[in-house]
Structures are given as C-alpha cells and as structure tokens.
C-alpha cells in the first residue's frame, strides 16, 4: 500500500504556508501529500477512512462532537460498518456557501495516483491541544467507552507567565487487552 499524508484544514489562508513547506520537501518522498480546505467535522468518517494515524489539532473549544463520535465508532465497531455507503459519509447537497466540503485536494504533492485505502482505520490518534479544559473533556470522551486509551501525554509551557498549556497526547485504539 502506498503511503500518503492527507491534510485537512478549515483555514483557507494556510494553503500558502502548506505550499511553501511542501516545496522544501525532497522530490523522492515515496508518498503522496494532499491538502484539503474543508471542515473535517462535516464528514469525519470520510477523512478517517484509509488512515492508520490521525493527527488532530482542534481549536480551543476542542474536537467537534461529530469527530469524537466518529473516533468512538471507528474504535468500537467492526470496520466493515463504515463503508462509503454509510449515512455519515454521504455527500450532501450543501446550500450554504460558507460550509466547506472539499474531497478533491486543493494542493497535491507528488504525481503518484492515490489508491483507495478503504478498510483501514486509525490505530493511533495524536492530539495536539492548546486548550487544557477542552483536552480533558475530549480525553474523557475518548477513553470513557474504552475504545481508546491514553498512552502518553506531555504538557508544554510555550508562554511562560500565562495559564496557556499546550498538550501533546498519543492515544491508541484499544486492542481488547485490559490496560493497567
């Protein structure tokens, strides 16, 4: 299976920064990198499918409930339950122009054609948080049904003298083995 990185960003202004960063990558990466300007919470299952690792960097308010729900369902259910015919992945005819739905990449690095990788779901979740209270809430939601377990977390004080704490946490999908 081909390696790929799929970046989903709601802020369209980050495209220039992404392109600049991508231009610095070596040409022989052996993977495909795409950037999509959309709201991942509108179709979370679509963006999770085909990923072995998901990295989330939510706003201060934390992950959208639809993303939490999708991560819980992916972790607890049989993977077959989330084929593209799922009602969660149906593309809706959106009438509101401010709602973004961009399944096609706005930026594509590497000329390799991406293969569909259905049937693969995240085993690892990397959570980057700039909101301590929202991280605690999201962490509690993710581990509450034992679908995910918190493997590691580190707090960083990038802004001394403030109450701002950045958190980098790694969750693993529960393999059914009891954690201590």
- The string of pLDDT tens digits covering residues 25-62 is 998 888 888 889 999 999 999 989 888 899 999 999 99
Average pLDDT over every residue of 102-125: 64
- pLDDT at 114 (0 to 100): 47
**CATH top class, domain 3-173:** alpha beta
* Entry pTM: 0.74
CB–CB of 54/44 below 8 Å?
A: no
Residue in the block written with tokens 């607890």? 76
Is 93 annotated in a binding site? The answer is no
Q: Enter the DSSP assignment of 125.
A: E
Is 9 annotated in a binding site? The answer is yes
Q: Which range among 63-72, 110-119, 135-144, 166-175 shows the weakest confidence by mean pLDDT?
A: 110-119
Residue 130 annotated as catalytic: yes
- Banded model confidence at residue 150, pLDDT cuts 50, 70, 90: very high
Average pLDDT over every residue of 134-145: 94
């Amino acid at each position: 299976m081909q390696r790929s990185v799929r970046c989903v960003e709601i802020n369209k202004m980050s495209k220039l920064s992404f392109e600049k960063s991508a231009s610095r990558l070596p040409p022989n990466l052996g993977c495909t990198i795409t950037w999509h300007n959309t709201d991942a919470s509108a179709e979370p299952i679509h963006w999770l499918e085909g990923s072995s690792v998901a990295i989330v960097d939510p706003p201060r308010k934390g992950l959208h409930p639809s993303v939490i729900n999708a991560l819980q369902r992916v972790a607890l259910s049989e993977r077959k339950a989330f084929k593209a015919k799922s009602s969660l992945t149906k593309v809706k005819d959106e009438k509101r122009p401010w709602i973004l739905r961009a399944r096609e990449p706005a930026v594509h690095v590497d000329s390799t054609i991406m293969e569909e990788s259905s049937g693969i779901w995240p085993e690892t979740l990397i959570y980057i948080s700039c909101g301590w209270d929202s991280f605690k809430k999201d962490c509690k939601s993710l581990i509450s049904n034992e679908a995910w377990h918190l493997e590691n977390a580190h707090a960083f004080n990038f802004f001394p003298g403030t109450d701002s704490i950045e958190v980098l946490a790694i969750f693993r999908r529960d393999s059914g083995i009891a954690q201590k």
